[in-house]
């Protein structure tokens, strides 16, 4: 059994025994404690002593994990933490089951628990000042409306089932919501998660490990949303939802191509991440405002960019996956990309710097940053007939420049 502490002015770790035996120690300056243990009685008695002798604690970390088991402790009763009047942050890791008491000043709580339970079993609504809640594993089997503190601004949950559509309706102060689903054969064909009435929500992230459209999820987001991350191919945003403040979108390629997310109402989108590309991306799918694009491609031998029209606003481009051919001239001549990264499963990541040396892009310095290899590319004009020259007299047309990547042997 050991407990360590950190004072407000010194970051020297000592054992709890040292503190108790040192009668002269100024315990009022101790603000952070780390409690580690693999036997429940010792932990319970030490927690009692901590509450009695060091009430100044505002941050408490409790780790019951050991080398033999992820959840060596059976039941941990935290009812006594209400006797820590300054406690604001609590983190509990590696316990099989937890009993929570009541605390009026606690603002942040993180739980990693082994035994499955429901949200109502935890009694989280008793924490009236809680603003941040993170459930670090999938021990919560279900959730329903009005089972979370209405004071929450940040929420991270891991669930075994899709939550009911109105599970978050009371969280009017919520700013950031992250859901990790590990569903096991949900019966519904399409589930709905309704966030439309959360006026302060700015960030929403959903990871669904049950891939496929048969058990799809429709998300309804409020106009306040700025960041959306839905990389699974069975998740989409309801078409009627407007996202005028959206700045970052992380989405599966199939969802974006099939219209599962509409960007017509998003004039400020700056960052776009596309997952799971196995076919060529349609032309003009990238908004004219986007500055950073990351694409994950898993289709070997497919030119996913052959139809893409890159917007002039683009300054950073990253490609990762199996794509083996890339049109560098499209990046040079149709965007303002200065940094370009590309990586594959069989090769290291290449990070290129692109510097245009003249107004018409005839001479371009392309340099791989890590190996410092590269040089100046002098582009060659494309042969055109007279009609094409008249049609394109305002635009210089150069021959294609292909980057070819060969797998390492």
Residue 277: burial class (beta carbons within 10 Å; 0-12, 13-18, 19+): buried
Percent above pLDDT 90 for the chain: 34
Task: Report how far residue 278's alpha carbon sits from residue 401's, in angstroms, rounded to the nearest whole number.
Answer: 23
* Tens digit of each residue's pLDDT (9 = 90 or more) over 274-319: 998 888 888 888 889 999 999 998 777 777 888 888 888 999 999 8
* Tens digit of each residue's pLDDT (9 = 90 or more) over 62-83: 887 764 455 555 677 888 888 8
Residue 187: burial class (beta carbons within 10 Å; 0-12, 13-18, 19+): exposed
Strand pairing category for 373-378 and 59-63: unpaired
Q: Which residue has the tokens 């001549």?
A: 333
The predicted pLDDT at position 17 comes to 54
* Tens digit of each residue's pLDDT (9 = 90 or more) over 15-32: 555 555 555 667 778 889
Q: Which residue has the tokens 């989280």?
A: 124
Contact assessment for residue 88 and residue 107, using Cβ atoms and an 8 Å cutoff: yes
The predicted pLDDT at position 188 comes to 55
Stretch (H or E) spanning 319: strand 316-321
Give the predicted TM-score (pTM) of the model. 0.86
Distances in Å between the Cα of 313 and the Cα atoms of 51, 86, 268 are 57, 49, 12
The predicted pLDDT at position 6 comes to 52
Percent above pLDDT 70 for the chain: 79
The lowest-confidence range among 85-94, 135-144, 308-317 is: 135-144
Q: Which residue has the tokens 């940040």?
A: 154
Task: Report how far residue 371's alpha carbon sits from residue 350's, in angstroms, rounded to the nearest whole number.
Answer: 9
Dihedral pair phi/psi, residue 111, rounded to 5°: -130, 135
Task: Report how far residue 344's alpha carbon sits from residue 324's, in angstroms, rounded to the nearest whole number.
Answer: 8
Q: Alpha helix (H) ranges present in 77-160?
A: 119-122
* Tens digit of each residue's pLDDT (9 = 90 or more) over 145-177: 888 999 999 999 988 888 888 999 999 999 999
Q: Residue 192 pLDDT > 80, yes or no?
A: yes
């Amino acid at each position: 059994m050991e407990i360590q502490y950190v004072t407000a002015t010194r970051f020297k770790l000592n054992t709890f025994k040292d503190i108790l035996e040192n009668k002269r120690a100024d315990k009022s300056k101790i603000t952070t404690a780390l409690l580690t243990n693999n036997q429940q009685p010792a932990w319970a008695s030490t927690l009692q002593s901590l509450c009695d002798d060091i009430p100044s604690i505002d941050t408490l970390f409790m780790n019951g994990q050991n080398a033999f088991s992820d959840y060596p402790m059976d039941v941990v009763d935290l009812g006594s933490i209400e006797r820590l009047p300054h406690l604001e942050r609590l983190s509990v890791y590696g316990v099989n089951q937890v009993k929570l008491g009541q605390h009026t000043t606690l603002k942040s709580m993180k739980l990693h628990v082994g035994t499955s339970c429901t949200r109502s079993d935890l009694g989280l609504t008793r924490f009236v000042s809680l603003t941040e809640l993170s459930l670090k594993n999938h021990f919560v089997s279900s959730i329903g409306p009005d089972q979370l503190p209405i004071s929450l601004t940040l929420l991270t949950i891991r669930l075994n089932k899709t939550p009911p559509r109105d599970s978050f309706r009371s969280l009017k102060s919520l700013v950031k919501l992250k859901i990790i689903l590990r569903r096991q054969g949900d019966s519904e064909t399409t589930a709905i998660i309704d966030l439309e009435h959360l006026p302060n929500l700015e960030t929403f992230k959903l990871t669904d490990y049950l891939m496929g459209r048969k058990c799809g999820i429709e998300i309804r987001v409020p106009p306040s949303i700025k960041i959306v991350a839905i990389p699974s191919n069975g998740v989409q945003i309801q078409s009627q939802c407007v996202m005028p403040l959206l700045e970052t979108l992380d989405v599966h390629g199939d969802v974006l191509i099939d219209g599962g997310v509409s960007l017509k109402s998003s004039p400020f989108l700056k960052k776009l991440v596309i997952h799971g590309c196995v076919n060529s991306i349609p032309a003009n799918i990238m908004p004219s405002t986007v500055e950073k694009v990351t694409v994950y491609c898993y289709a070997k031998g497919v030119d996913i960019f052959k139809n893409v029209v890159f917007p002039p606003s683009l300054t950073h481009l990253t490609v990762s996956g199996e794509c083996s051919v890339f049109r560098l001239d499209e990046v040079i001549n149709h965007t303002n990309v200065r940094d370009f990264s590309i990586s594959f499963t069989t090769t290291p990541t290449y990070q290129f710097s692109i510097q245009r040396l003249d107004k018409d892009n005839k001479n371009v310095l392309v340099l791989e940053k890590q190996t410092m290899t590269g040089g100046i590319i002098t582009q060659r004009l494309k042969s055109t007939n007279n009609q094409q020259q008249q049609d394109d007299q305002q635009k210089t047309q150069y021959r294609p420049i292909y980057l070819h990547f060969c797998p390492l042997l």
